[in-house]
Structure 1
Amino acid sequence: MRFTQLFLLAAPALAASDTATATATTEAADCTATATAGFFDLRPDTALAPGDGVKKSARTADYHANGWDYRHNFTMNICGAVVKPVEDVVGVDEEEWRHVGAYYTSDGGDVFSIGSESKLLHTRGRKLVLQYTNGSPCGPSSRRRRSIHDGAMYGDYSDDEDAPAPSAANLDADDDQRRAGAEEEKEKEKDKKEVRRKSATISFLCDHDPADVHATVNFVGTDPDECAYFFDVRSQHACLSAEPHQPGSVGPGGVFALLLSIALVVYFAGGVFYQRTVAHARGWRQLPNHTLWHGIWTAISDFAIIGASSCARLLPGRQGYSRLSRSPTSGWRNREDENRLIDQLDEEWDD
């Protein structure tokens, strides 16, 4: 029995390890995140372009946020590119315009991207965060303008034979000009590599108000270089919920069924082994607690017989003595026959 007890203790650990392995190999869906206390699913908050296959309850317009003291208003989508396409985005390649997830328009009509779309949610403690990156250029490097080296000097020479030979001072000036040009090229290459781009960090808050069907976006602020923008979004889908069953993973019901099956197999196998080897039992007595199982089987059989008998009494043609003919003559004959039969049975019992 020690072996059986050890196996019973080890079975839950084995089942838990199998469940963890199956969960780890299952990839999370886009715009979803799993936290310690629950599951987040923001896919209903994604605005979709109107068309075939789009539900009537789905949002088909971009989200808008008032910039207040920032002078510009913002347009964005959650876990996707903006529904209304944008063009001529400052500092962004043309093939990336269709991936812009958030932007604003300046007073001059220039479109500035504050991040490309992303469907990867992050959980930081009890916070749910979505980040858009790789927007339009920003920071001091994007506004830097350089002039030609002030110390550069150019000689004005003629082609006649009386042209003076270059002096040592002119040669030094030419060397300084070449060095300045080389340094400027290096600075340009460095600026290209170190270009900072705008980004947007979106923090989600749980909204328990059932009247708010769609999410609401609010602008929080930006850094002094106008590179990082911060928003908070209130949504009922940002509340913790139970994680749905994923194909390829084991759900809570599967884990319970697996543990129950292992426990039953160990119980019967260990009990039969013990009864056969230690108690030298044979037949049905090899089952553990066979008297208990025999009593349960007997009770089930009795209830089955009682139910079958009750159902048989309700069937037509099985009324017994309660079924009598409507004819008075036949009724009297039946009663006389019944009385003679009863008297005959009584005589037999007396003998």
Structure 2
Amino acid sequence: EEAEKEVVEPCTVVNPLTNQFYDLRPLSALGNDGEVQTWNSKGFDYGKNFSIGVCSTPLRQLKALRESDFVDTHNKSMVGGYYTDGEGKKVSIGEYSTDLKFRGLNMVLEYTNGDQCEDSPNLSKSTLLTFKCDREMMSKARVSYLGSMNNCSYLFEVRTVHACATANDKNDSAIWGIFLLVLFSAAGVYFFAGFMYRMIQK
């Protein structure tokens, strides 16, 4: 818990078991100068295709939405994932979150407060994204639909190199600071020793 509290940047996390740093901002609008990044996933047997955002919305044109889109969503700009139903209406499967978490060795992101579940009107749709490190992928990321429960909760796997541990920018700065301090100290000792040597030779 203490390791997670050290991370203040959204869409980043420190694994409390290994103390390794992870940064998924390159997959979101947070690390793309605010430009929307949409990740598409085929639903296969579900019969719908999904559009997913990582730590941000996948929606590119909010003004183009119709009143029939996201009917149970108060703030449509917060939609983190959706599909289009048989009538052409967009259905939210959860509002996006930037709160990355580790459950054991699994890095996950939870989206809640989507549109109402068809079979359970008292419940709202939700989504769980699981992230897997893949250093051999040629593309930036691949989002795969794994399944759903009662047309209410949805599970996706995101394979990407950005789910691999990396160095924290703050840690990088600290390391460079220490390196430069040691370098200047060594240079100072070298010049001082040379000065003293010349003085003795005189």
Name which of 16, 25, 46 aligns with 2:28: 46
Cα distance in 2 for residues equivalent to 1:91 and 1:30: 28
Matched, 1:197 2:173: no
Whether contact under 8 Å (1:114, 1:135) holds in the other structure is yes
- Alpha-carbon offset, residue 300 of structure 1: 7.2
Q: Which amino acid letter does the alignment assign opposite residue 208 of structure 1?
A: R
Cα 1:113–1:210 shift into 2, 3 Å: closer
Residue 46 of structure 2: which of 66, 70, 79 is its match? 70
Asked if structure 2 preserves the Cα contact closer than 8 Å seen for 1:47 and 1:83, the reply is: no
Q: Where do residues 190-339 of structure 1 align in structure 2 (5 Å cutoff)? A: 195-209=122-136, 211-212=138-139, 214-223=140-149, 225-245=150-170, 251=174, 301-302=196-197, 304-305=198-199
- Deviations 1:163-208 (Å, cap 9, x if unpaired)? xxxxxxxxxxxxxxxxxxxxxxxxxxxxxxxx10100100000010
Q: 1:125 to 1:140 in 2, by over 3 A?
A: same
User: Higher strand proportion, which one?
Assistant: 2
Q: Which runs of 5+ in 1 are unaligned?
A: 1-20, 143-194, 257-296, 310-351
Structure number with the higher helix fraction is: 1
Tell whether 2:9 aligns with 1:29: yes
Q: What is the number of residues matched between the two proteins?
A: 183
Taking the aligned partners of 2:29 and 2:142, their CA distance within structure 1 comes to 12
SS at match of 1:74: strand
Give the aligned residue type for 1:220. Answer: L
Structure 1: how far apart are the matches of 2:120 and 2:167? 47
The structural deviation recorded for 1:227 is 0.8
Residues 15-36 of structure 1: CA deviation (Å, up to 9, x unaligned): xxxxxx9x78755210000113
- Post-superposition shift, 1:92? 1.7
Opposite residue 169 of structure 2, the aligned amino acid is P
How many Å apart are 1:110 and its aligned residue? 1.9
Structure 1 CA distance for aligned equivalents of residues 119 and 47 of structure 2: 20
| TM-superposition CA deviations, 1:135-176 (whole Å, max 9, x none) | 01115342xxxxxxxxxxxxxxxxxxxxxxxxxxxxxxxxxx
Contact 1:47 1:62 in 2 (8 A): no
* Secondary structure class of the residue paired with 2:169: coil
**Structure 1 stretches of 4+ moved >4 Å:** 23-27, 250-256, 297-300
**One-letter amino acid matched to 2:134:** D
Structure-2 change in CA distance of 1:99 and 1:298 (3 Å): closer
Q: What is the Cα deviation at residue 244 of structure 1?
A: 2.5
Q: Which one-letter code corresponds to 2:165 in the other structure?
A: L
Partner-residue secondary structure (3-state), 2:146 = strand
Unaligned 5+ runs, structure 2: 180-191
Question: For the residues of structure 1 that align with 2:107 and 2:133, how far apart are their CA atoms?
Answer: 10
- Contact 1:89/1:136 (8 A) holds in 2: no
For 2:111 and 2:56, the matched residues in 1 are separated by 10
Q: Provide the alpha-carbon RMSD of the alignment.
A: 3.4
2:112 matched to 1:133? Answer: yes
Classify 1:210/1:218 alpha carbon distance in 2 versus 1 (closer, same or farther; 3 Å). Answer: closer
> Relative to structure 1, is the Cα distance of residues 83 and 139 closer, same or farther in structure 2, using a 3 angstrom cutoff?
closer
Residue in 2 aligned with 1:103? 82
Greater C-alpha Rg:
1
Please report how far the alpha carbon of residue 47 of structure 1 lies from its aligned counterpart in structure 2 after TM superposition: 4.2
CA separation of 1:209 and 1:298: change in aligned 2, threshold 3 A = closer
Deviation (angstroms), 1:91: 3.8
Looking at structure 1, the residues matched to 88 and 194 of structure 2 have their Cα atoms a distance apart, in angstroms, of 85
Task: Tell me the amino acid that sits aligned with residue 99 of structure 2.
Answer: L
Q: CA 1:99–1:207 in structure 2 vs 1: closer, same or farther (change >3 Å)?
A: same
Q: Would you say 1:124 and 2:19 are equivalent positions? A: no
| Aligned equivalents of 1:202, 1:24: Cα separation in 2 | 19
Using the size of structure 1 for normalisation, the TM-score is 0.46
